[in-house]
Amino acid sequence: MRRKIVAGNWKMNMDLSEGLKFAESLNAYFKSKPVKAGVILCTPFIHLAAVSEIIKNGTLLLGAQNCSSEPSGAFTGEISAQMIKSTGAGYVIIGHSERRTYYHEDDALLNKKTQLAISSGLNVIFCCGEVLNERESGKHREVVKKQLEDGLFTLSAENFRKVVIAYEPVWAIGTGLTATPEQAQEMHKYIRDLVKVKFGTVVAEDLTILYGGSCKPSNAAEIFSKQDVDGGLIGGASLKREDFCAIVEAI
Ligand code: PGA
């Protein structure tokens, strides 16, 4: 069964005490108001262990925003998938456009991270999406296809089932510009069709595909109403309690 998911990507925001307070308030809210979707908080690394404790008796799920491409060893400053798993987190975002752009993470590296995350017992939220000039020149499908083929399609079907895909047109991230519900649906269907060819109908139909990019309470319900949109990856609006709760409820 395809699962609906709303994931909040906190990015590099909130210090430890702010983050814990925020997690406590979301935990209390969703405990009193259960929703059908999986709600995942993707926090900075430093919050993971403590947020894991906070949400232990609630309904929220926990994820990291990145992991190392190496399993362990002399990689100063890195955090391994296994370490993330040991905090109680169940998810990790891989291939966010900010990591692709600012840290030059390419598809081969993202593939390595994905394999390692899954073998460490994590589920992966794998991001893909085109930049504005690729959309304007009609190359968006080609770009996303290559990101998926090189990043994900080397996985076994069994491992691919641990993946959630987030389609995030880069021109819509943090810009206030949103893909129209039709543009989102068109790309999500395209992605599902690619997965169908690669892994078969059952895997494709079970796959959760999230939309990300300036998702807010005013546009979430319409985007989520599309057949192949199974939820959202929320950046800016995930930092505001009312907005994030309203987006979750829109599903
Ligand atoms: P945004 O970010 O909602 O602030 O556009 C989405 C994301 O980067 O995941």
Answer for the pair 217, 246: CB distance below 8 angstroms, yes or no. yes
- From 98, 105, 134, 168, active-site residue: 168
Q: In this model, does residue 34 exceed pLDDT 90?
A: no
Residue 176 confidence (pLDDT) above 90: no
- Residues 211 and 220: their CA atoms lie apart, in Å, by 10
Q: Is 53 a catalytic residue?
A: no
Contact 62, 23 (CB under 8 A): no
Spatial separation of the C-alpha atoms in residues 160 and 202, rounded to whole Å: 12
Catalytic residue check, 140: no
Ligand 1 atom closest to the CA of 93, numbered from 1: 9
Q: Torsion over CA of 229, 234, 238 and 239, rounded to 10 degrees?
A: -170
Residue 73 alpha carbon to ligand 1 centre in Å: 32
At residue 211, the pLDDT reads: 97
How many angstroms separate the CA atoms of 251 and 235, rounded? 17
Indicate which residue's Cα is closest to atom 7 of ligand 1.
Answer: 235
Average pLDDT in the 184-197 region?
A: 98
DSSP code, position 47: G
pLDDT tier, 177 (very low <50, low <70, confident <90, very high otherwise): confident
Residue 1 has pLDDT above 90, yes or no: no
User: What is the rounded CA–CA span in Å between residue 193 and residue 213?
Assistant: 22
Query: Per this entry, what is the length of the chain?
Result: 251
Q: Region 228-247: what's the mean pLDDT?
A: 98
Q: Whose CA is nearest to atom 1 of ligand 1?
A: 235
Q: Which residues line ligand 1 (CB under 6 A)?
A: 9, 168, 173-174, 212-215, 233-237
Cα(200) to centroid of ligand 1, in Å?
A: 30
Q: Which of 4-13, 31-40, 153-162, 172-181 has the lowest mean pLDDT?
A: 172-181
**Ligand 1 atom closest to residue 215's alpha carbon, by position in its atom list:** 3
User: Among 32, 143, 157, 135, which residue's Cα sits nearest to residue 95?
Assistant: 143
Distance from the alpha carbon of residue 42 to the mean position of ligand 1, in angstroms: 12
Q: Which atom of ligand 1 is nearest to the CA of 238?
A: 3
Whole-number Å distance, alpha carbon 173 to ligand 1 midpoint, is: 5
The alpha carbon of 44 is separated from its chain's Cα centroid by a whole number of angstroms, namely 14
> Of 215, 214, 148, whose CA–CA distance to 176 is shortest?
214
How much distance in Å is there from the Cα of 75 to the middle of ligand 1? 29
Q: Which helix (H) or strand (E) holds 40?
A: strand 38-42
Task: List domains and CATH numbers for the chain.
Answer: 5-249 (3.20.20.70)
Which H/E stretch holds residue 147? Answer: helix 140-151
Angle of the 107-119 helix axis to the 140-151 helix axis, nearest 10: 50
User: Pocket of ligand 1, candidates 99, 214, 238, 243: which has the most ligand atoms within 8 Å of its Cβ, to mutate?
Assistant: 214
Over the chain, what is the mean pLDDT?
97
